[in-house]
Amino acid sequence: MLTKGDDFPLHQTPEPMAYSGSDRNFYDRYFFNGYSADGSLFFAAAMGIYPQLDIIDASFCLLIDGVQHNIRASRRMGSERLDLEVGPVRIEIVEALQKLRLVVSGNESPVTADITFSARHAPIEEPRFIRRNGPRMFMDYTRMTQSGSWSGTIGCDGVDHRLTNDRHLGTRDRSWGIRPIGAPEPQPPPSGTLPQFYWLWAPLNFPDHATFFHSNDDADGNGWNRRAVVDALAGSPADYDDTAYEVRYKPGTRRVESLQVELAPDGSAQLLVEPTGTDFHMSGLGYTHPVWGHGMDHGDSETAYDSIKAAAAEPRDTLHWHIQAFVRATLTLNGMQHHGHGILEQLLIGPHAPSGFTELLDPAS
């Protein structure tokens, strides 16, 4: 089966581009977020391509005035992986690894957008994520992450919000590989333990730097996938391979109150991340959503809209387990402080010994 992709020199196997290995959970995904300097406007978008399921889906969410607006769309793909338009959401690659355009055309929601992401630096490659569920492959994927600035217009309820490169920053990523998608596994491997997934991801923007820290921990608190990078925009990125971190939680919850990262053992490089109270709910993009989960089949074409009142979101509800918190951040390098902002993504399920978690959702004391 030949598609537009076959005209590009991107083949990785002797087969046409329509075929992507043999694992039904193969995916290829775009993610974006952006925010004003004070966090009063926050938006995120995603588009997922699932060649084995022949489905493509997309979402755009806007958090403003205490309400999170969620637009979601899905369609059958017909094996054409280069048609990056799903319902009202469209992605254009203006200049690869440098500039991408995101368009949300008129739909049944009060939200539209025509905005452009411009890179602040070259993307970084995160360590390959490989994790098994017993004998079964659970995750095997690569992600690149890149911070940038936004320009253009987002409309909501008839009001246009102008984005400018000096005031609206954010992060985008591209990931591809294997992770659970579509309908639930009909016969998962037998397991006698609680589900466990401890995930912190903190891409941050500073005037002259972009920083990245993430950690996937097991139940004992060992980081099975962890990386920290400080990218001086006028120089070369610095990798920190021996990081340690400490989390303080809001009492009675699993929400992070502060994250202190020791990038270097000698104390010469540190990150302090402090959420401001603005939480974006990743279920708007399909994560943990029972109906609009990634790769679910909604027929030939379907678009939906709903909204979340942020103050009423219940953290123990599945829809609100997974968040991105807008944060203030302080980067200390050789005694000099740099101040910026960004997000701290949190998905904290099951036991985590350093946090004192022993059950599925037991809170911090």
Question: Which DSSP string corresponds to 258-292?
Answer: EEEEE-STTSSEEEEEEEEEEEEEGGGGTTT-SSS
Asked if pLDDT for residue 246 goes beyond 90, the answer is yes
Number of domains in the chain: 1
Residue 328: per-residue pLDDT: 98
Residue 191: per-residue pLDDT: 72
pLDDT tens digits for range 141-195: 999 999 999 999 999 999 999 999 999 999 999 999 999 999 988 888 877 677 8
Mean pLDDT of 85-106: 97
Label residues 72-82 b or e (16+ Cβ within 10 Å = b): bbbbebeebbe
Residue 234: per-residue pLDDT: 82
223 located within any domain? yes
pLDDT bin (cut points 50, 70, 90) of residue 350 is very high
Residue 236: per-residue pLDDT: 87
pLDDT tens digits for range 54-91: 999 999 999 999 999 999 999 999 999 999 999 999 99
Residue type, 46: A
Instruction: Provide long-range contacts, Cβ within 8 A and 24+ apart, for 104-107.
Output: 104/45, 104/60, 104/71, 107/71, 107/303, 107/305
Kindly state the helix (H) or strand (E) to which residue 143 belongs, with its residue range: strand 136-156
Residue 134: per-residue pLDDT: 83
pLDDT bin (cut points 50, 70, 90) of residue 271 is very high
8 located within any domain? no
Instruction: Provide long-range contacts, Cβ within 8 A and 24+ apart, for 154-157.
Output: 154/41, 154/43, 154/62, 154/111, 154/112, 154/113, 154/115, 155/110, 155/111, 155/112, 155/113, 156/62, 156/64, 156/69, 156/110, 156/111, 157/110
Q: Which residue has the tokens 């990038």?
A: 263
d(CA 284, CA 71): 8
User: Within 13 Å and on the Cβ side, how many CA atoms surround 352?
Assistant: 25
Q: Average model confidence (pLDDT) for the chain?
A: 95
Residue type, 105: S
365 located within any domain? no
Q: Which two tokens stand for residue 260?
A: 């202190």
pLDDT bin (cut points 50, 70, 90) of residue 135 is confident
- Nearest to residue 33, comparing CAs of 138, 169, 205, 233? 169
Residue 187: per-residue pLDDT: 85
Q: What is the CATH number of the domain that holds 205?
A: 2.40.370.10
Q: pTM of the prediction?
A: 0.96
6 located within any domain? no
Residue 278: per-residue pLDDT: 94
- Nearest to residue 326, comparing CAs of 316, 338, 340? 340
Count Cβ atoms within 10 A of the Cβ of residue 164 and give its class: 0-12 exposed, 13-18 middle, 19 or more buried: exposed
For 62-76, 231-245, 288-302, which range has the lowest pLDDT when averaged over its residues? 231-245
Residue 165: per-residue pLDDT: 96
Helix (H, G, I), strand (E, B) or coil at 38: coil
pLDDT bin (cut points 50, 70, 90) of residue 235 is confident
319 located within any domain? yes
Asked if pLDDT for residue 18 goes beyond 80, the answer is yes
3 located within any domain? no
14 located within any domain? no
Mean pLDDT of 337-350: 98
Local structure of residue 253 (DSSP, 8 states): S
d(CA 217, CA 348): 10
Mean pLDDT of 307-328: 95
Full residue range of the structural domain in which residue 72 is found: 23-183+193-355
188 located within any domain? no
Contact between residue 78 and residue 54 where contact means Cβ atoms under 8 Å apart? yes
Residue 229: per-residue pLDDT: 97
